[in-house]
Amino acid sequence: METENIEEEAQREAEEASSSRALYEVKMKFLGRTGKVTALLKGMREIAAEHRPAFGKRVNELREKLEGMFSSLEERMRRREMEEKLAGERIDVTMPGRRRQRGALHPVTRTAYELIDIFSGMGFEVFEGPEVETDHYNFTALNTPADHPARDMQDTFYITDSILLRTQTSAGQIRLMEKKSPPIKMLSPGRVFRSDDDATHSPMFHQMEGLVVDRHITLCDLKGMLDEFARAEFSSSSKTRLRPSYFPFTEPSVEVDVSCHICGGKGCPLCKGTGWIEVLGAGMVNRRVLENCGVDPDAYSGFAFGMGIERIAMLKYGINNIKLLTENDTRFLEQFED
Ligand code: DAH
């Protein structure tokens, strides 16, 4: 009988179906609009009238049977697929977690923050000047006119004849004094640029500038502030000493050494056996610089200082090559995690 063959065929194919999707396709093949069982019902017209009721009954029974079979198989398939999905997504909550990699402040940023912290404790305010400067602010107003030999001390990147990448944060001294009258206690951190490149020099580095202008400021005030800075930044027993030097914008000018924080002054490789390490340049603000900014040099005096932030970081953390600070190798940087 045709209905029996169809029933067997449908059963076999349905049991072989390996997914809900495949099972649905088998179901459509028999019970769908163009399916085999539907075709039997459509073919009723060609059957002799006296056989029609019996035939129709058989086909309807077949349809109901197959519908029942498909719905129980569908149910079984759904359960199996759900179990497989759950097994695949199983999470072992007792497994150790994957650690997130933590970032850390770059040693230059960290050192800059330390310095800002130390000096703001002494009443300094932070002021930032532009990285692209004019010749006027970077040199001329700092008592370094065009033919001044001190310009050779710093190999400058010029953009035009009068515009350049600042070679020193000292330019900020002028910008601030033009805006603000004394008393002034300014700290100016920032990037500077020089055409210079070896193990201790980089074409881009950072400086921290300081400027104090008020009535009766003396070199003693500078010395006292430097001692305070050295003790806070390096070691509680650090000392400073001043050596005569030359900068066009200060008079007198000094080079400042800090007692070696590694050997305490006895002499070691870091301080090259001298017990002292040069850390910054400083001096009393030159009268001409005050005049250039409209500050009366007979009423006011001041001191200024400038240090390389990379240099301070290298000394403090024992870093022997400045390139480590720009390569951003995480094996180096992660050593500065707190
Ligand atoms: N601008 C100097 C430099 O880059 C550093 C410096 C020296 C800054 C003496 C100062 C200072 O403010 O008084 O070499």
Closest CA to 35 of 73, 1, 72, 70: 70
Residue with the larger pLDDT of the pair 187 and 262:
187
User: Would you say the CB of residue 144 lies under 6 angstroms from ligand 1?
Assistant: no
Please, are residues 118 and 229 in contact by the beta-carbon 8 Å criterion?
yes
Q: Is 308 part of a structural domain of the chain?
A: yes
Give the domain CATH number at 160: 3.30.930.10
User: What own/partner pairs with CB < 8 Å and gap ≥ 24 does 108-115 have?
Assistant: 108/206, 108/309, 108/310, 108/313, 108/325, 110/313, 110/336, 111/309, 111/312, 111/313, 111/316, 112/189, 112/206, 112/208, 112/309, 114/233, 115/187, 115/189, 115/208, 115/233, 115/307, 115/309, 115/312
End of a domain among 26, 59, 88?
A: 88
User: Would you say the CB of residue 247 lies under 6 angstroms from ligand 1?
Assistant: yes
What pLDDT is recorded for position 154?
67
Q: Is-above-0.75 flag for pTM?
A: no
Q: Is 38 part of a structural domain of the chain?
A: yes
47: pLDDT confidence band, cut at 50, 70 and 90?
confident
Predicted confidence (pLDDT) at residue 15 exceeds the cutoff of 70: yes
- Whether 116 and 77 map to the same domain: the answer is no
Structure-token match 């912290």, residue found: 117
End of a domain among 46, 61, 88?
A: 88
C-alpha separations of 192 from 120, 122, 207 in Å: 22, 25, 7
As for how many domains the chain has, the answer is 2
Please, are residues 238 and 230 in contact by the beta-carbon 8 Å criterion?
yes
What's the mean pLDDT in 204-218? Answer: 97
What's the mean pLDDT in 15-35? Answer: 91
- Whether 10 and 142 map to the same domain: the answer is no
Proportion of the chain above pLDDT 70, given as a percent: 99
Q: Is 141 part of a structural domain of the chain?
A: yes
User: Would you say the CB of residue 172 lies under 6 angstroms from ligand 1?
Assistant: no
- Whether 282 and 153 map to the same domain: the answer is yes
Q: Is 100 part of a structural domain of the chain?
A: no
- Whether 180 and 123 map to the same domain: the answer is yes
User: Would you say the CB of residue 281 lies under 6 angstroms from ligand 1?
Assistant: yes
1: pLDDT confidence band, cut at 50, 70 and 90?
low
How far away, in angstroms, is 324 Cα from ligand 1 center? 24
251: pLDDT confidence band, cut at 50, 70 and 90?
very high
Instruction: Report the C-alpha gap between 24 and 27 in whole angstroms.
Output: 5
Instruction: Report the C-alpha gap between 237 and 321 in whole angstroms.
Output: 27
Predicted confidence (pLDDT) at residue 298 exceeds the cutoff of 90: yes
Q: Is 213 part of a structural domain of the chain?
A: yes
What letter does residue 100 receive in the DSSP assignment? P
- Whether 74 and 155 map to the same domain: the answer is no
Q: What pLDDT, in 10s, does the model give residues 121-180?
A: 999 999 999 999 999 999 999 999 888 877 766 689 999 989 999 999 999 999 999 999
- Whether 124 and 170 map to the same domain: the answer is yes
How far away, in angstroms, is 106 Cα from ligand 1 center? 24
How far away, in angstroms, is 283 Cα from ligand 1 center? 8
User: Would you say the CB of residue 59 lies under 6 angstroms from ligand 1?
Assistant: no
What pLDDT is recorded for position 198?
80
Predicted confidence (pLDDT) at residue 6 exceeds the cutoff of 70: yes
Q: Is 310 helix (H, G, I), strand (E, B) or coil?
A: helix
Proportion of the chain above pLDDT 90, given as a percent: 68
Work out the angle between the directed axes of helices 309-317 and 107-120 (0-180°, nearest 10): 100
| Average pLDDT value for the chain | 92
End of a domain among 23, 56, 88?
A: 88
Q: Is 179 part of a structural domain of the chain?
A: yes
What letter does residue 151 receive in the DSSP assignment? G
- Whether 47 and 191 map to the same domain: the answer is no
Q: What pLDDT, in 10s, does the model give residues 49-99?
A: 888 888 888 888 989 999 999 999 999 999 999 999 999 998 888 988 888
- Whether 61 and 130 map to the same domain: the answer is no
Ranges 110-124, 231-245, 259-273: which has the least confidence:
259-273
What pLDDT is recorded for position 179?
95
Q: Is 93 helix (H, G, I), strand (E, B) or coil?
A: coil
Q: Is 256 part of a structural domain of the chain?
A: yes
* Nearest Cα residue to atom 3 of ligand 1: 168
What's the mean pLDDT in 201-227? Answer: 96
- Whether 136 and 9 map to the same domain: the answer is no
Structural domain boundaries enclosing 14: 2-88
- Whether 177 and 249 map to the same domain: the answer is yes
- Whether 77 and 166 map to the same domain: the answer is no
Q: Is 158 part of a structural domain of the chain?
A: yes
Q: Which two tokens stand for residue 51?
A: 């056989």
- Whether 73 and 144 map to the same domain: the answer is no
